Amino acid sequence: MAEVVEAEMVAAVLEVVVAPGDAVAPGDTLVLLESMKMEIPVLTEHGGRVTAVRVAVGDVVQTGDVLAVID
């Protein structure tokens, strides 16, 4: 079952750490966000393979926006 990783707050995308096809383990950082001058790493809860990355550096995401999909 796919894990859809969503933004938990309004933030700017500082860095995209993974790309489609990358293998990830639980706790790996997928994306680095910035909100209110704080850097917030977005972690995966489950291991698997990244099937999609839906953001790019400089994007502004809203709460609930899909950042990545892990299969």
- 44: domain CATH number is 2.40.50.100
pLDDT value for 51: 97
Give the pLDDT confidence of 28-67 residue by residue, as tens digits.
999 999 999 999 999 999 999 999 999 999 999 999 999 9
Residue 4 banded pLDDT, cuts 50, 70, 90:
very high
Range of the domain at 65: 3-70
Check pLDDT > 90 for residue 1: no
- The pLDDT value recorded for residue 70 is 97
Measure the CA–CA gap between 35 and 14, rounded to whole angstroms: 10
Q: Look at the chain and report how many structural domains it folds into.
A: 1
